[in-house]
């Protein structure tokens, strides 16, 4: 039984924490500066509240980081500064280059590092969510989730491999969605939306409806996807493939960032207006 | 009954010519400088061979241009120089800006212009292929195809509208295929192809196979798609959406251009090697 800290109990992080707790581990979080929504999620899963990051680092054997990709380096640096000495696992959607950078910096601070990435929705049902892991401590992290709703899959010792798998997977899902959104925007701008829908409907009757639904549904998460697209662009460029798909996808999601946390799904007209009139 | 000229009887153009001939029109082509394959296609459809472009322009009431997007401006200019005085329809996958440019140049030479675009495979079966048309002569061009395997759809008087519809449609099909190909390339480069396939197969068992098949199947046409991606990039940029998707797609297809006209579909390893080792 380990003492596991979660940074932070967001929508995804709280489900990963719940999976570790289900395995019999004590799961902690640091409340300082976190939102009321995070507190509510942490309380609902019975996580043990500590106040500061320093306390979390002092108490825990293992830290799991689940945060937006832009914050991954900063969170790891704060953990190193706080004097943590256990095993640190980054589970974020970052380029493998960034995972290696974090690993090097933590190693310099005497912290063991596991590269991780999560594919699927928050792990509230069996069979939906994989936590890919790579690095010499991958099996130790995987053991935390034995028998839980989070399926941990070790990918060997190479730091960056778990992150790279997330990048190529999300490239297909979130990249294709951004492409769909952009196409609807161009069709709207050129006065062609009805004509495009008519052509699409010849293929599959409900295709126009599905494409619009896809664009509307992604708006609430677009703010978070923008940073992930930048990570994928970096991954593609370093692998020698053109990064333009994801630079464009980043801009599409950035233009939709104003829909962050809106409770009602916007109408397609509002989505297209935001796309065509960036600030 | 009209005298219709086809520029040129390629795989698509010969089927469009056959549709016009089926409507009872006399269909001509100009053999000078064309390949043996074009001659074979023209003969098979009973097209009437003339020698030069000048003869074609002198004989025909209507010219239909079906050529790669890079050649559209050049072909139209040659027709204007040859003294054509009838109705000219461009059916190519070009940006609406380019369609308007061609229309202006032809108008200056006293030639009526119809903007057109073709969606679907060569028209050898009913219900597969639409010829979208816009401009004041759209109905006249559409009338050529009455009762044929090519379904002509007028979109009103605005030059550029038919081309724009092709751009937003092909953006979704050929753009998504380029994204799939690029992702397979990155996965290969990062040593992750088997891991990506395992994750994809969790969604749908045959998804890895379908993605690879898609990449292999597009290789023979990639040389032609590269130019079309540039047209779509221009269309997106002018509409105020980021063109990067299609600049990247152009590069992907360009790297596969060496598979032009290969008779056997290459293995996925050969496709990925070409993608990762550009000249």
Give B126's contacts in chain A (Cβ within 8 Å). Answer: none
User: Cβ separation of A186 and B236 shorter than 8 Å?
Assistant: yes
Query: Does the pLDDT at position B101 exceed 80?
Result: yes
Task: Establish if A165 touches chain B: CB-CB under 8 angstroms.
Answer: yes
- Comparing CB atoms, the residue among A171, A186, A192 nearest residue B183 is A171
pTM above 0.90, yes or no: yes
DSSP assignment string, B33-80: T--HHHHHHHHHTTPEEESSHHHHHHH-SEEEE---GGGHHHHHHHHH
Task: Establish if A276 touches chain B: CB-CB under 8 angstroms.
Answer: yes
Task: Establish if B146 touches chain A: CB-CB under 8 angstroms.
Answer: no
Query: Does the pLDDT at position A278 exceed 80?
Result: no
Domains by residue range for chain A, with CATH: 3-159 (3.40.50.720), 164-276 (1.10.1040.10)
Residue B87 banded pLDDT, cuts 50, 70, 90: very high
Task: Establish if A191 touches chain B: CB-CB under 8 angstroms.
Answer: yes
Q: What is the pLDDT of residue B72?
A: 97
Provide mean pLDDT across the span B38-44.
Answer: 96
Give A176's contacts in chain B (Cβ within 8 Å). Answer: 176, 179
- Per residue in B206-261, pLDDT (tens digit) is 999 999 999 999 999 999 999 999 999 999 999 999 999 999 999 999 999 999 98
Provide mean pLDDT across the span B76-90.
Answer: 97
DSSP assignment string, chain A: --EEEEE--SHHHHHHHHHHHHTT-EEEEE-TT--HHHHHHHHHTTPEEESSHHHHHHH-SEEEE---GGGHHHHHHHHHHTT--SEEEE-S---HHHHHHHHHHHHHTT-EEEEEEEESS-SSSTTSEEEEEESTTHHHHHHHTTTSSEEEEE--S-TTHHHHHHHHHHHHHHHHHHHHHHHHHHHHHTT-HHHHHHHHHHH-TTHHHHHHHHHHHHGGGHHHHHHHHHHHHHHHHHTTS--HHHHHHHHHHHHTGGGTT-SSPPPHHHHHHHHHS--
Task: Establish if A116 touches chain B: CB-CB under 8 angstroms.
Answer: no
Residue A261 banded pLDDT, cuts 50, 70, 90: confident
User: Cβ separation of A168 and B176 shorter than 8 Å?
Assistant: no
Which residues between 198 and 217 in chain B have a beta carbon less than 8 angstroms from any beta carbon of chain A?
199-200, 202
Query: Does the pLDDT at position A115 exceed 90?
Result: yes
Asked if the peptide bond before residue B214 counts as cis, ω within 30 degrees of 0, the response is no
Query: Does the pLDDT at position B279 exceed 70?
Result: no
User: Cβ separation of B189 and A240 shorter than 8 Å?
Assistant: yes
Interface test with A, best of B162, B168, B171, B184 (most A CBs within 10 A): B168
Query: Does the pLDDT at position B168 exceed 90?
Result: yes
User: Cβ separation of B96 and A190 shorter than 8 Å?
Assistant: yes
Q: What is the pLDDT of residue B43?
A: 97
User: Cβ separation of B244 and A240 shorter than 8 Å?
Assistant: no
Task: Establish if A224 touches chain B: CB-CB under 8 angstroms.
Answer: no
Task: Establish if B44 touches chain A: CB-CB under 8 angstroms.
Answer: no
Task: Establish if B187 touches chain A: CB-CB under 8 angstroms.
Answer: yes
Give A226's contacts in chain B (Cβ within 8 Å). Answer: none
- Per residue in A53-102, pLDDT (tens digit) is 999 999 999 999 999 999 999 999 999 999 999 999 999 999 999 999 99
Interface test with A, best of B118, B163, B179, B207 (most A CBs within 10 A): B179
Across all residues in chain A, what is the average pLDDT? 97
Instruction: Express as a percent the part of chain B with pLDDT over 70.
Output: 99
Instruction: Express as a percent the part of chain A with pLDDT over 90.
Output: 97
């Amino acid at each position: 039984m380990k003492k596991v800290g979660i940074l932070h109990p967001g929508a995804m992080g709280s489900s990963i924490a719940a999976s570790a707790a289900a395995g019999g581990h004590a799961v902690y979080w640091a409340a300082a500066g976190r939102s009321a929504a995070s507190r509510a999620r942490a309380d609902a899963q019975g996580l043990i509240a500590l106040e500061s990051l320093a306390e979390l680092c002092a108490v825990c054997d293992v830290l799991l980081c689940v945060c937006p990709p832009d914050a991954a380096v900063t969170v790891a640096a704060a953990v190193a500064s706080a004097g943590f000495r256990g095993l640190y696992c980054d589970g974020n959607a970052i380029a493998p280059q960034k995972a290696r950078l974090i690993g090097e910096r933590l190693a310099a601070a005497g912290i063991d590092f596991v590269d991780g990435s999560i594919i699927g929705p928050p792990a509230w049902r069996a069979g939906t969510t994989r936590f890919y892991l790579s690095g010499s401590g991958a099996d130790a992290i995987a053991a935390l989730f034995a028998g839980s709703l989070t399926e941990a899959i070790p990918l060997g010792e190479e730091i960056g491999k778990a992150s790279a798998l997330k990048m190529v997977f999300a490239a297909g899902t979130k990249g294709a969605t951004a492409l769909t959104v952009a196409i609807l925007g161009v069709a709207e701008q050129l006065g062609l939306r009805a004509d495009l829908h008519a052509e699409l409907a010849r293929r599959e009757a409900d295709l126009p409806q599905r494409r619009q639904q896809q664009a509307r549904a992604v708006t609430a998460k677009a703010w978070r996807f923008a940073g992930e697209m930048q990570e994928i662009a970096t991954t593609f460029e370093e692998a020698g493939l053109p990064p333009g798909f994801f630079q464009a996808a980043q801009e599409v999601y950035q233009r939709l960032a104003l829909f962050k946390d809106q409770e009602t799904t916007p109408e397609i007209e509002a989505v297209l207006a935001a796309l065509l009139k960036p600030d």
